[in-house]
Amino acid sequence: MGVITDNLDIWSQALVGTLVLFFAGGALALVLGIIVGAMRVSPVPIARGVGTFYVSAIRNTPLTLVFFAFVFALPPLLGLRLTGDVSLTLGICALGIYTATYVAEAIRSGVNTVPVGQAEAARALGLSFGQVMSLVVLPQAFRSVIPPMMSVFIALLKNTTVAAGFSIVNLGSVRNYLSERGENAFVVILWVMVIFVALVLLLSWVQRTLENRWRVAR
Amino acid sequence: MSSVLYDVPGPKAILRNRLLGVLTIVVVVGILGFLVWRLAETGQFTAKKWSAFTYTNVWTSILDATLATLAAFGAAALGALLLGFVLAIGRLSDHRWVRWPFTAVIEVFRAIPVLVFMFLLYYGFPVIGIRMEPYWAVVIALVCYNGSVLAEVIRAGVESLPRGQAEAGYAIGLRKAGVMRLVLLPQAIRAMMPVIIAQLVVTLKDTALGFIITYPELLFYAKYIGAQPTVGSPIVPATIVVGAIYITLCLILSFVATVVEKRLRRSARGDVAEPVQPLQQGATDTSLIVAQRGGSAL
């Protein structure tokens, strides 16, 4: 326990770093993912093609490579100096762009779970594509999207640790700072694991609660 | 392609869809154009930046790095499959004292980020007197994580089989082990093959994490060659080359997954018992027809 209480400053900084990466990356992923998910079910063939290309390209790219491209290759291109804030922003972009593909897939498969008759009935009433989606399909898809979406966010939480390899402060990089202070690396990493197991359990609990509250009543 | 979400477009809708299509193209071309402009502006297309890739030495090193990536992937994939079976069988055990520890191990391994596990193996274990090469840290961490994910996949496959399969096995006098080995597992594996291969793609992607604990794989080499001032610090060209190799490897594996999935779907009728699919109540005729045709509804 001493490892934590003696170095509260570093642990709290690291926890804040992880939470910033998680929430900012998650928000970006959600916005981008909804756009791409909409593109993938839209009546515009070009938009569908672009969406499909984006998803299959990023899904076959390691997250570490996305981080590498953003943090090492982009700054010289844009003429940025690599300060702490810049690498944090780039890290958030990398996480968001990577996770957005999974969000888009979760949304698309959620739309697919709505029975065909619902959309058919809506069209029979003369609703347009926008109305079919916003009034009939999406409210129903939303419920079945919750469990896979939470799994995406649990994966995002674990993926924030990759930022540790790119000098962005988060729970994954605590070991660097604490080994400078002469702490036992083994104990430090065990504590990081405990924190992650606790955070993941927390998110799983949220997942179960939301799932029960919005269970599909069919 | 027809979809149930929208009607066949009329003249107005065609015009609007074309406008949206043009808008999409403009946005995409804008982003790509900006990138190319910055690439050209910062001189990434000059011969000096790419001169590193004219040396045979560099390409042999890239080949070595690719082989290092593939070596870690091969060992990790094999280990993960084996561990996945062991954990899945333990998890499916009838005895509570066997099932619980296995469940706990699976849950913990799945909750820990792979990278933190690699840190534990590479930086933490030397403290208690166990030193290992980065290669083994990468492989062991990947085996534990992907093994427990695969265990859940295999368990889901076994549990999705109709109860009659196991019952028929017991009825002809097989024991528990026989039912599992001869009846349930072969079907579960066939049904879950696409998911299993998809998880192997994840394993291949995660070998890139080895870069962070100094395992000399592709990204590690890209960082190294990108920091060589004698060839003009070509970090951007190196990222492009290495990225292309990584994405190609993953695409090949994903392609295998799709081929397997298509094959399974074609030959599914004869060999594998249909998984129990809870028929949605109130499904319309159309969705039933779509389901029977085996296509996706929307």
Split at pLDDT 50, 70, 90, the class of B285 is very low
Q: What is the pLDDT of residue B190?
A: 86
Q: Does A133 touch chain B (CB under 8 A)?
A: yes
| Residues B13 and B118 both lie in one domain | no
User: Residue B290 falls within a domain, yes or no?
Assistant: no
Residues B181 and B69 in one domain: yes
pLDDT at B168: 93
Question: Which residues of chain A have a CB within 8 Å of the CB of B222?
Answer: 68
Give the residue numbers spanning the domain of A26.
2-213
Q: Which of B94-98, B210-214, B272-276 has the lowest mean pLDDT?
A: B272-276
Q: Are residues B15 and B152 in the same domain?
A: no
Cβ–Cβ below 8 Å for A197 and B111? yes
- Contact yes or no for A46/B21 (Cβ under 8 A): yes
What is the C-alpha separation between B62 and B245, in angstroms, rounded? 10
Selection from A148, A137, A59 nearest residue A98 by Cα: A59
**What distances in angstroms separate CA B59 from CA B56, B112, B211, one per listed residue?**
5, 36, 19
- Whether B27 and B108 share a structural domain: no
**Which DSSP helix (H) or strand (E) runs through B288?**
helix B285-293
Two tokens, residue B226: 């990108």
Which range marks the domain in which residue B13 is found? 7-41
pLDDT > 70? residue A212? yes
On whether the CB atoms of residues B154 and B187 are closer than 8 A, the answer is no
Check CB contact under 8 Å for A72 and B283.
Answer: no
Q: Are residues B116 and B34 in the same domain?
A: no
Entry pTM = 0.84
Residue A61 lies in a domain: yes
Q: Is residue B282 domain-resident?
A: no
| pLDDT per position as a tens digit, A80-133 | 777 878 888 999 999 999 999 999 999 888 888 888 888 889 888 988 878 888
Same domain? For B12 and B117 the reply is no
Check residue B291 and give its pLDDT: 44
Confidence band, pLDDT 50/70/90 cuts, at residue B289: very low
Rounded CA-CA distance B267/B274 in Å is 12
pLDDT band for A54, please (50, 70, 90 cuts). Answer: very high
In a domain, B264, yes or no: yes
Asked if residue B219 and residue B191 are part of one domain, the reply reads: yes
pLDDT of residue A1: 67
Interface test with A, best of B4, B202, B207, B256 (most A CBs within 10 A): B4
Number of inter-chain CB pairs under 8 A, A vs B: 191
Nearest to B247 among A44, A60, A218 (CB): A60
Angle at B80 between CA A110 and CA A197, to 5 degrees: 65
Report ipTM for this prediction.
Answer: 0.87
Structural domain contains residue B83: yes
| CA B14 to chain CA centroid, nearest Å | 38
pLDDT of residue B298: 39
Judge whether residue B115 has pLDDT over 50. Answer: yes
The answer for A 70-89 residues in CB contact with B (under 8 A) is 72-73, 76-79
Give me the half-sphere count of Cα atoms (radius 13 Å) on the Cβ side of residue B243: 19
- Quick one: what percent of chain B has pLDDT higher than 70? 88
Q: Domain check: are B75 and B147 in the same one?
A: yes
CATH code, domain carrying A78:
1.10.3720.10
Residue A206 lies in a domain: yes
- The Cα–Cα gap between A34 and B151 comes to 31
Which B residues, 259 through 298, put their C-beta within 8 Å of a C-beta on chain A? 280-284, 286-287, 290, 296-298
Under an 8 A CB cutoff, do B42 and A123 touch? Answer: no
> Which tokens belong to A38?
């909409």
Within 8 A of B128 by CB-CB distance, chain A residues are: 186
Average confidence (pLDDT) over A12-30: 92
Window 57-76 of B, Cβ < 8 Å to A: none
pLDDT digits (tens, 9 = 90+) for B17-26: 889 889 999 9
Judgement on whether residues B62 and B196 belong to the same structural domain of the protein: yes
The larger pLDDT score, comparing residue A4 to residue B213, is at B213
Closest chain A residue to B125, measured at CA: A186
Residue of A18, A60, A200 best to disrupt the B interface, most CBs of B under 10 A = A60
Quote the CA–CA distance of B114 and B148 in Å, as a whole number.
12
pLDDT at A10 over 90: no
Residue B74 lies in a domain: yes
Closest CA to B215 of B75, B118, B104: B118
Residue B3's pLDDT band, with cuts at 50, 70 and 90, is low
Query: What is the C-alpha to C-alpha distance for residues B275 and B281, in angstroms, rounded to an integer?
Result: 18
Interface membership of A170 toward B (CB under 8 Å): no
Is the CB of B207 less than 8 angstroms away from the CB of A112? no
Alpha carbon of A155 to those of A215, B163, B184: distances in Å? 23, 33, 30
Residue A91 burial (CB < 10 Å; 0-12/13-18/19+)? buried
pLDDT tens figures, A193-203: 999 999 999 99
The Cα B71–Cα B77 span in angstroms is 10
Distance of alpha carbon A137 from alpha carbon B266, whole angstroms: 31
**What is the mean pLDDT of the segment spanning B4-13?**
77
3-state class of B269 per DSSP?
helix
Domain total of chain A: 1
In a domain, B294, yes or no: no
Looking at the structure, tell me whether residues B105 and B188 fall in a common domain: yes
In a domain, B289, yes or no: no
Q: Is residue B298 part of a domain?
A: no
Instruction: Give the confidence band of B281 by pLDDT, cuts at 50, 70, 90.
Output: very low
CA distance B289 to B298: 13
| Count of structural domains within chain B | 2
Asked if the Cβ–Cβ distance from A116 to B298 is below 8 Å, we say yes
B149 and B272 together in one domain: yes
Please say whether the dihedral angle defined by the alpha carbons of residues B117, B123, B126 and B130, taken in this order, is positive or negative: positive
B261-281 average pLDDT score: 58
**pLDDT value of residue B1:** 37
Q: How confident is the model at residue A25 (pLDDT cuts 50, 70, 90)?
A: very high
Q: What share of chain B is helix, strand, coil (3-state, %, to 5)?
A: 80, 0, 20
- Rounded distance, CA B122 to CA B135, Å? 10
Q: How confident is the model at residue B268 (pLDDT cuts 50, 70, 90)?
A: low
Q: Is the pLDDT of residue B275 over 60?
A: no
Residue A11 is assigned to a structural domain of this protein: yes
pLDDT in tens, B208-232: 999 988 888 888 888 888 888 888 7
Same domain, B34 and B134: no
Which CATH number goes with the domain that contains B243? 1.10.3720.10
pLDDT beyond 60 at B11: yes
Partners of residue B235 in chain A, C-beta under 8 Å: 72-73, 76
> Is residue A218 a part of any domain in this protein?
no
CA B102 to each of CA B93, B95, B99, B108: distance values in angstroms, whole numbers, following the listed order: 9, 11, 5, 10
Nearest-Cα residue of chain A relative to residue B121: A186
More confident residue, A130 or B104: B104
Residues of B in contact with A172 (CB under 8 A): 113, 115-116, 119
* 3 state SS for A69-134: HHHHHHHHHHCCCCCHHHHHHHHHHHHHHHHHHHHHHHHHHHHHHCCHHHHHHHHHCCCCHHHHHH
